[in-house]
Amino acid sequence: MPSLLIKNANIASEENDNLITADVLVENGIITKIAQGIAVPDDARVVEASGKVLAPSMFDTHIHMREPGQEAKETIKSGTEAAINGGVTGVVLMPNTSPAIDSAAMVRMVYDIAKRDSRIPVYTSGCITKGREGKELAGIDGMLGLGVKMLTDDGDAVPDMSLLKRAMEYASEFDCFFASHCEVLELSGPRALNEGVVSHRLGIQGTPACSEEICMDRDIRLAHATGARLHIQHVSSKMGMETIRWWKQMGAKVTAEVSPHHLLFNEEDIGNYDTHYKMNPPLRTAEDNAALLEGLKEGVFDIIATDHAPHTPFEKEQDFVSAPNGITGLETALVSLFHHYLKKGEFGWGLLINRYSAEPRRMMGLEPVPIVEGGPAEFILFDPEGETTFSAEYMQSMSQNTPFLDQTLDGSIDLVVLGDDVLLDR
């Protein structure tokens, strides 16, 4: 693109919630000047940004693209376009594809597809066990040799504690970390919804929160004993959050994520068996919502991640127990967090950028992308006075299994820039 001059933008950063109004000049993919009253270069495109927020673009470390094997749900091409639509310019894929990403050959194939089909950087995690079957270790060294940083059997916990301990002992010497989907299968039942008043009312066996919390404590203990770095995925309960807080105080090398849906929704939203609210771990209670929000503010949760999980309409239209778990999140996360939290003053742009842009990149060994002179142009322009309607026409994902479908929320993403490319321009 030619030079890009963004005039009168309110620039956001992770340092604090204060917005600084200035012009921003981008030349050859680099932010070359930040000041008020920048003269317009001859070849520049000018974007008037009065009242809008210029922020580093988001980075999501928990994404299911479904390719290879389930391309009817999502491909790397459609999923990364959905990411751009949501202001996200980097993603980390989960390895529970079919076949699973459990070897160097599979990692290489995913990166070849991403190089061909994606306009944003794509990273992948790798399995801990072959085929995610929990029986023998995957080809860990080969995957790490191709730059894989995260090892996980996401979608399931590793049931064999001895095997997980051995994996941690082996891989902890390398520059990588483990990510745990925490669940005790003997307790989790049909994985349909939280065990509580709603499960009793609907007549469906529920999954107790202790299923998640017991496994969480187990995995952190193993990591602490072996010296491994551990990341806890999609925490859903207050007690789980407090478990993580305690282990952090004990010096464990543990980080944790919270998803927008576990902040925003709870078991009461399921209503009359609405499968758009079915996920694993399940939605808990309103009390858990409030606790998770406080944990995000206090720093118990290091990052926000969506657990973007696309499914076809046919799958989600099954009965509640049979329908698959998960909702999409890449396109809705930023706007919904603004609508429900930033606009209401629950937290500000500083926290959002730290948890959904800077810290996720740091966790993956990448540099954040602050809006500073000499830095790369990797940012979004967000209109707080705009609106977004999440219609099927608006969504770029191949699947629209989201509670936000056809809802209109405050805020809109007007521009997404990556280097010298304008990826999205409304």
User: Measured on CA atoms in the order 152, 155, 161, 163, is the torsion positive or negative?
Assistant: negative
337, 368, 361, 220 alpha-carbon torsion, rounded to 10°: -90
Architecture of domain 57-363: Alpha-Beta Barrel (3.20)
Q: Write out the two tokens for 305.
A: 């991640």
Query: How many residues appear in the chain?
Result: 426
Q: Which residue ranges does the chain devote to CATH 2.30.40.10?
A: 4-54+373-425
34: part of which helix (H) or strand (E)? strand 30-35
Residue 173: the pLDDT is 84
What is the C-alpha to C-alpha distance for residues 212 and 279, in angstroms, rounded to an integer?
13
Quick one: pLDDT band at residue 312, thresholds 50, 70, 90?
A: very high
Q: Which residue ranges does the chain devote to CATH 3.20.20.140?
A: 57-363
Mean pLDDT (the chain) is 97
Note the pLDDT tens digit of each residue in 119-134: 999 999 999 999 999 9
Return the active site residues. 307
Residue 192: the pLDDT is 87
CATH 1.10.287.3510 for domain 4-54+373-425: no
Cβ 218 vs Cβ 187: under 8 Å: no
Beta bridge partners of 31: 26
Exposure class string for 141-157: b at 16+ Cβ within 10 A, else e: ebbbebebbbbbbbbbb
pLDDT at residue 226 is higher than 90: yes
Going by C-beta distance under 8 Å and a sequence separation of 6 or more, which residues neighbour residue 133? none
Note the pLDDT tens digit of each residue in 138-154: 999 999 999 999 999 99
User: Measured on CA atoms in the order 135, 141, 142, 145, is the torsion positive or negative?
Assistant: positive
Residue 191: the pLDDT is 87
pLDDT at residue 1 is higher than 80: no
What is the C-alpha to C-alpha distance for residues 208 and 196, in angstroms, rounded to an integer?
8
Note the pLDDT tens digit of each residue in 10-51: 999 999 999 999 999 999 999 999 999 999 999 899 999 999
Quick one: pLDDT band at residue 189, thresholds 50, 70, 90?
A: confident
What is the C-alpha to C-alpha distance for residues 78 and 387, in angstroms, rounded to an integer?
23
pLDDT at residue 4 is higher than 80: yes
